[in-house]
């Protein structure tokens, strides 16, 4: 019997190609209780690109949140509806003015925050409607949210991380290993034909655009691309 090609093995989702879930200290989701707290520590989280802040709330409970840019130990965090527009505070999007930087946005109310969570990212509201808000995302796209979805005020700390050079292959190796990524990546056309659909020649030898419904072994290249090449001016 033959072997599965590399793209099939990777797509299976086995432990070899999964990011280590235990490397993250905390989910750092948005706390559900509406209370106030104080930042008691700032910590590095190996499982994510941004630092996290340990917050002690009035109830005595300690939780982690994504650290916003400019926060320091001793600063106050306010999760109530009357929270001022200061970094780290949390408010429903309908109560946040247009143009204010926000991060850790909920996709559905109460999910704890899912968008703009990596270092240096943020978005801002561009339009308010009756029950929806339009938000400009770090991807430069505009997405519509339920206006009851919450978001944190400010920008995620750690901006400029991608400006630093790796300098050594070992640094890149450890970075990729922490995210469950295969490294080093070999060019598809440099592989043997049994290892990749584009292998065995100096060029793909077939169209690079494949259907969304293609099986895992064929789903390489431009997947379900509506257009390819450079965009005309």
Whole-number pLDDT of residue 232: 62
Q: Single out the residue of 180, 195, 138 nearest to residue 22, CA to CA.
A: 180
Whole-number pLDDT of residue 108: 95
> What is the chain's mean pLDDT, rounded?
89
Domain ranges of the chain: 6-15+180-223, 21-161
- The tokens for 84 are 């001022």
Q: Which residue has the higher pLDDT, 148 or 10?
A: 148
CATH architecture designation of domain 6-15+180-223: Irregular (4.10)
- The tokens for 129 are 């409607």
Query: pLDDT > 70: what percent of the chain?
Result: 93
pLDDT in tens, 174-214: 888 777 777 888 898 999 888 888 999 999 998 899 999 98
**Which residues fall within 8 angstroms of residue 96, CB to CB, at 6 or more apart?**
85, 102, 125, 151, 153
Whole-number pLDDT of residue 2: 65
- The tokens for 137 are 């995302």
Assigned CATH for 21-161: 2.30.30.30
In this prediction the pTM is: 0.78
Q: Is pLDDT at 58 greater than 80 in this prediction?
A: yes
Whole-number pLDDT of residue 124: 96
pLDDT in tens, 206-232: 889 999 998 877 888 899 998 887 776
CA distances (Å), origin 136, targets 8, 67, 152, 165: 36, 21, 15, 29
């Amino acid at each position: 019997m033959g072997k599965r090609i590399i793209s099939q093995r990777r797509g299976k989702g086995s432990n070899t190609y999964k990011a280590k879930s235990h490397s993250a200290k905390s989910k750092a989701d948005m706390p559900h209780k509406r209370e106030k707290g104080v930042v008691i520590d700032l910590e590095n989280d190996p499982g994510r690109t941004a630092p996290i802040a340990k917050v002690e709330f009035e109830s005595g409970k300690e939780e982690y949140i994504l650290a916003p840019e400019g926060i320091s130990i001793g600063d106050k965090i306010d999760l109530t509806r009357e929270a001022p527009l200061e970094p780290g505070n949390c408010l429903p999007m309908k109560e946040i003015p247009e143009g204010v930087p926000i991060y850790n946005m909920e996709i559905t109310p109460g999910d704890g925050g899912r968008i703009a969570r990596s270092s240096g990212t943020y978005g801002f509201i561009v339009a308010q409607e009756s029950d929806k808000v339009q938000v400009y995302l770090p991807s430069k796209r505009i997405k519509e949210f339920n206006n009851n979805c919450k978001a944190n005020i400010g920008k995620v700390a750690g901006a400029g991380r991608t400006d630093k050079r790796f300098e050594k292959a070992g640094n890149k190796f450890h970075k990729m290993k922490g995210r469950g990524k295969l490294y080093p990546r070999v060019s598809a056309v440099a592989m043997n034909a049994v290892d990749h659909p584009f292998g065995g020649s100096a060029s793909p030898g077939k169209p690079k655009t494949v259907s969304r419904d293609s099986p895992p072994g064929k789903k390489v290249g431009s997947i379900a691309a509506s257009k390819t090449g450079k965009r005309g001016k």
